[in-house]
Structure 1
């Protein structure tokens, strides 16, 4: 899932995913862990013997004779085991289709580190961290485990992914249609590069506005100036320290208007993405409909110290729902197992998705314009690289999907990333599924008795289309 950071150079989230995926509980699903030597650079013949070990997970329980389809998860910015444990839809689908399951880890994330502990040491190493190389890894893996020849066609493969993984699933089908029969691309913002920098925060604001009462987003909008005022004096900082119980004492205004503001922005985005109708530990332990629970504590107009107190109570829904956290750590708002450093590099190269806030009634955030030059300069200072803003459109398409087929783009309309998703298309071979009550790629999660009807309907559409793709494949290839 992608990470959204208010610090623009660390932008984004796909959270997570951010991507789905923070529950470090006992394993619900079982798999074998395997490794395959893959080329470091798929597009350079000079050093083609340089390889690294790609980690992938497999389960053939439901495909005992080895003839069924392969359900292939295109791993995104994090440890692949987290995605395997939190993509229950694939596990529920496998026995119905008598399919094998494969979860492939993205290079530079999890345990797939091309240069080991030195993978992040220099831009020279990080230069091999691209979506194009990752897709080539996946293709190389499929060619190895599912070979085709003149007399025998490989088993049909359906790609799955959520958030950045959803982008990869769609692009995998586009770039390697001979290897991938179709793709379920959930909450995949492949149009975010050109969606408008304010769309994320506008949708996010609407989620908090409709979750309980309009006063919720209005209180958040007022809170920034209130917190800023308190941070301007020593006594005010002391009040904030006492109210929020920060793990590290706040001693200057920038601790609040910088670090804490960034933390709050992340929390609001994460709450919207994981606004599922049941308890979850995705990103953090939270109750069912956490945005509603949050807004229930900001249901009236508050000002001054009362607003600060109410905001603290609301934030605790995300930061301390279990009641076991003794202080508020504002240094990070998401699970450390997600690859935030790698994703930051990717946003500085091929994944630059402009973010801004307009304030003044348009969203609930302080006004913060998008400054592409500053973003680029920060990237160069940190990594020695500059972003290529529209390179993903050139490599894969996005605005226009002519010639593309067998891809389902699903988007929850309560997900702030939906503004960069495929919400309409003139291509009849590309299906758009809208989930009005859906949060971030909820349709890829395991079924739950509290799932809204629109989520259940989306999964039925996925299954029906996958079955149709498989039927057409069997007919065209005389495949049993």
Structure 2
């Protein structure tokens, strides 16, 4: 094979919705990967995609535990040659796997060029891949990135046999966001099985206090709307804080932001206010995270940071808090929301639901657990300069770990889990070859990834969106 061409825009995913129910801890409801661009594929291509189930061990690291479960995966075998020596694997992450990726996206174009058989493996505990009877804290002990990587290894070994792939088959892993991390780690941990990987927007450094997240959002807004936009956002959050302190102001907040539960009358506590601030800052955070995704640039009324800054500097709308309310209304309208749910106890109650039929089982509870036990990733407002207030420190997010999963899930637990992850994988000092790291400057997650590299066999592509570098090309050799 002569080469492998990678073409990416500034970002890889698009948000599904807003608010803590739909955008929380940097995760969009349904996962951060999103769907590929383009119309639905019909006819011969889609008909040849099959949905299958693979028997996995529940605990790969206990040889005395023989319990198994069924993991969902998709197969597209229509592009492979008689040699059957190239296999592409899209790694599932913190959301349901989508069959749409099996016939669309750049990786399918590469599959056609290099005659690859394509697989997509859904991450344990997400989508329809249910290893346990429910999502109880006891059962979630088997939800770890290490178990997920072992799932990949056992899956690859079995697919080599089932599909009679060449003994010299080259497996290339693809992943975006958390699966971008998994792609790099799979190559690192199982180099005899995974020949190479494309890691897009993958955070490799686990960190408890990810205050840099909102520093990037700050820079994004400044690049988009200048100091005027920054000043308006800062003033708006300051005014919200003032309004929470007295009855008349609270009643105004109820009306301005269409709160599901009244904040007036002393019925809200400090955690509620912190959750409200978290939801409102999230309006800017998730747009920044997916700003001007080139797959969706032609969608009418596509909301970008330009959209938000245009609203925030529009003096005709009244004081800055009214403009923030207009931003909130725009996002609610786009996603058919009728009110903003901010109550902390309600959020915790929902997150404690362990049923596979619950709303949070789509991945919210699972991702909470992984942040509490492996990654942290808490997007605090501790960094300076700060325009989103100062209500959301590390304690606010660690408290959620305790309230949702139990008293043993505390700051010590989170810190130990983060340290363990960085020791196991090497964080930004990961020793790995045949991996391409791709990040966009507007995406806050790039701070925790590799954006520069002097290693020819593990290059980095950093796309500076400020200079409209919407795509770059890299052609590393595959020998």
Q: Go from structure 1 to structure 2 and tell me whether the alpha carbon gap of 1:160 and 1:219 turns closer, same or farther (over 3 Å shift).
A: same
Q: Go from structure 1 to structure 2 and tell me whether the alpha carbon gap of 1:277 and 1:397 turns closer, same or farther (over 3 Å shift).
A: closer
CA contact (8 A) 2:75 2:102 kept: no
Give the count of matched residue pairs.
432
CA contact (8 A) 1:358 1:366 kept: no
2:57 corresponds to 1:39: yes
Aligned mates of 1:224, 1:244 — CA distance in 2? 13
Equivalent residue for 2:151?
A: 137
Superposed, 1:209-248 pairs within 5 Å as 209-248=222-261
Equivalent residue for 2:353?
A: none
Q: Go from structure 1 to structure 2 and tell me whether the alpha carbon gap of 1:115 and 1:26 turns closer, same or farther (over 3 Å shift).
A: farther
Q: Go from structure 1 to structure 2 and tell me whether the alpha carbon gap of 1:433 and 1:85 turns closer, same or farther (over 3 Å shift).
A: same
Aligned mates of 2:300, 2:103 — CA distance in 1? 16
Give the one of 344, 359, 364 matched to 2:368.
344
When structure 1 is superposed on structure 2, of 348-357 and 155-164 the one drifting more is: 348-357
Aligned mates of 2:78, 2:233 — CA distance in 1? 49
When structure 1 is superposed on structure 2, of 250-259 and 177-186 the one drifting more is: 250-259
Superposed, 1:62-211 pairs within 5 Å as 62-63=79-80, 65=82, 67-81=84-98, 84=101, 88-116=105-133, 118=134, 120-121=135-136, 123-147=137-161, 153-193=167-207, 197-211=210-224
Give the one of 363, 377, 384 matched to 2:386.
363
Q: Go from structure 1 to structure 2 and tell me whether the alpha carbon gap of 1:358 and 1:301 turns closer, same or farther (over 3 Å shift).
A: farther
Q: TM-score normalised to the size of structure 2?
A: 0.79
Aligned mates of 1:263, 1:24 — CA distance in 2? 28
CA contact (8 A) 2:36 2:295 kept: no
Show CA shifts across 1:335-389 (max 9, x none).
Answer: 9675111011111111123543236x612222257546x7656534532442322
CA contact (8 A) 1:2 1:18 kept: no
Show CA shifts across 1:98-151 (max 9, x none).
Answer: 2221111111111111113x1x12x32111000000010111111001149xx9
**Higher relative contact order, chain-length normalized (CA < 8 Å, sep 6+):** 2
Aligned mates of 1:181, 1:409 — CA distance in 2? 15
Aligned mates of 2:38, 2:328 — CA distance in 1? 24
CA contact (8 A) 2:96 2:127 kept: yes
2:407 corresponds to 1:390: no
Q: Secondary structure at the match of 1:103?
A: strand
Q: Go from structure 1 to structure 2 and tell me whether the alpha carbon gap of 1:61 and 1:424 turns closer, same or farther (over 3 Å shift).
A: same
CA contact (8 A) 2:274 2:392 kept: no
Aligned mates of 1:320, 1:45 — CA distance in 2? 52
Give the one of 258, 264, 271 matched to 2:280.
264
Superposed, 1:392-407 pairs within 5 Å as 392-402=421-431, 404-407=432-435
Q: Go from structure 1 to structure 2 and tell me whether the alpha carbon gap of 1:225 and 1:12 turns closer, same or farther (over 3 Å shift).
A: same
Aligned mates of 1:327, 1:369 — CA distance in 2? 22
Q: TM-score normalised to the size of structure 1?
A: 0.79
Aligned mates of 2:294, 2:428 — CA distance in 1? 34
Report the RMSD for the aligned CA atoms in angstroms: 3.6
Equivalent residue for 1:446?
A: none
Q: Go from structure 1 to structure 2 and tell me whether the alpha carbon gap of 1:346 and 1:46 turns closer, same or farther (over 3 Å shift).
A: same
Give the one of 428, 450, 454 matched to 2:469.
454
Q: Go from structure 1 to structure 2 and tell me whether the alpha carbon gap of 1:16 and 1:164 turns closer, same or farther (over 3 Å shift).
A: farther
Aligned mates of 2:424, 2:252 — CA distance in 1? 52
CA contact (8 A) 2:237 2:387 kept: no
Aligned mates of 2:442, 2:152 — CA distance in 1? 31
Q: Go from structure 1 to structure 2 and tell me whether the alpha carbon gap of 1:316 and 1:240 turns closer, same or farther (over 3 Å shift).
A: same
When structure 1 is superposed on structure 2, of 184-193 and 104-113 the one drifting more is: 184-193
Aligned mates of 2:14, 2:427 — CA distance in 1? 18
Aligned mates of 2:230, 2:82 — CA distance in 1? 55
Give the one of 279, 292, 298 matched to 2:312.
298
Q: Go from structure 1 to structure 2 and tell me whether the alpha carbon gap of 1:62 and 1:112 turns closer, same or farther (over 3 Å shift).
A: same
What displacement does 1:227 show?
1.1
Ranges in structure 2 where 5+ consecutive residues have no aligned partner: 1-12, 348-358
Show CA shifts across 1:271-329 (max 9, x none).
Answer: 11111255849xxx9844611111111125799x622221122233432237x554445
Equivalent residue for 1:12?
A: 25
Q: Go from structure 1 to structure 2 and tell me whether the alpha carbon gap of 1:192 and 1:413 turns closer, same or farther (over 3 Å shift).
A: farther
When structure 1 is superposed on structure 2, of 99-108 and 425-434 the one drifting more is: 425-434
Q: Go from structure 1 to structure 2 and tell me whether the alpha carbon gap of 1:286 and 1:226 turns closer, same or farther (over 3 Å shift).
A: farther
Q: Secondary structure at the match of 1:409?
A: strand
Show CA shifts across 1:2-25 (max 9, x none).
Answer: 99x999xx9732436841227999
